[in-house]
Structure 1
Amino acid sequence: MSTIDGLPAHILLVHAIVVLAPLTALLAISSALWPAARRRLVWLTVALATVVAVLTPITTEAGEWLEGRVGRNADLHNHTQLGDTFVYFAIALLAGAILVAVVHVRETRGRAVSRMLVGAVAVLTIAAGVAATVQVYRIGESGARAGWSGVSAQPVRAGK
């Protein structure tokens, strides 16, 4: 996918990742820690984590297409390298959401769920959620540097 309505697809798709990955992380962590949230949000969380995992390689491919059309520099190279790693974070987030769903299914079927299992799932989900959110920030910050390097922070005065 190269463009959407004439705009580079990467620039549009990346906004979905920037919004959905931290939102999914927040929902997954809430569901892992809070049984009432787990009952209400677990399937939404799994669905959003799946969307993030599917959109990530599509967004990366669109970014590689865009990279081939702009001047390459160190900032863009750093952004590309970081962006290529996000698929692992997206998969970890999906795995955390699935593990929370497994706990939920066991609870709703009346099967005993040990506190140790719930605690381990919570720790893994928190780690995946925090890591994914931090990585989204790092990738976004490096992309902003790549896109805005060389742009002055000073306003341009009309007529000058």
Structure 2
Amino acid sequence: MNTVNGLPTHPLLVHAVVVLVPLASLMAVLAVLWPGARRRLGFLVPLVALAALIAVPLATSAGEALETRVAHTEAVEHHTRLGEQMIYWAGPLFAFTVLWWAAHDERVSTFVVNRLPVLGRAGRAGDWLLGAATLGVAIGSVVTVYRIGDSGSRAVWM
């Protein structure tokens, strides 16, 4: 399905990515830096990150279909190259939010530590490392969405 009511689906699906990736990233940052937010947001953080992860290949696939219908300019090629990178940020964003949630949900962490005691010894250093990785991927995801969107708008309007 490349069109909806005669419109290409790519610009429509891109809106899901543009909303969900920054939202998941913001939620991840809050969960890492603010324990109160972590408790309130709980599993919603990885859930939103999963929705973003699903939206990315849908938008990319629709973009590839649209690419066959537009002129091949350097700007379009640049946008395409950047767009193909988004999955490499959305996947780790989902994975790190799941790991962060699991490490801080009492039920999950107790279950895991009872079966794999070595994970319980990761302690504070492991928490810092996981938090830093989550923050890095969240920030990188938002920067990547911005760069892709900027290149796409330049490809259309310039």
Decide: shared fold, TM above 0.5: yes
Residue identity opposite 1:37 in structure 2? A
Q: Are 1:133 and 2:133 counterparts? A: no
Matches within 5 A, 1:4-153: 4-106=4-106, 114-149=123-158
Q: Tell me how large the CA RMSD over aligned residues is.
A: 1.7
How far apart are residue 107 of structure 1 and its match? 7.1
Which sections of structure 1, spanning at least 5 residues, go unmatched? Answer: 150-160
- Matched residue pairs, number? 149
* Larger Rg, first or second structure (1 or 2): 1
1:4-44 per-residue CA deviation (whole Å, 9 max, x = no partner) reads 23211110010111111111101011101222111111311
Q: What are structure 2's unaligned runs of at least 5 residues?
A: 114-119
- Equivalent position amino acid for 1:147 in 2: V
CA distance in 1 between counterparts of 2:43 and 2:5 reads 32
Preserved contact between residue 46 and residue 101 of structure 1 (Cα < 8 Å): yes
**TM value normalised by structure 2:** 0.88
Structure 2 residue identity aligned to 1:145: R
Q: Is the 8 A contact 1:32 1:118 kept in 2?
A: no
Percent identity between the two aligned chains: 40
State the AA in 2 paired with 1:133. Answer: V
Note the alpha carbon deviations across 1:56-105, whole angstroms, 9 max, x for none.
Answer: 11110000001100111000000000001110100011011111111122
* CA–CA distance in structure 1, aligned partners of residues 27 and 94 of structure 2: 12
Which has the larger helix fraction?
2
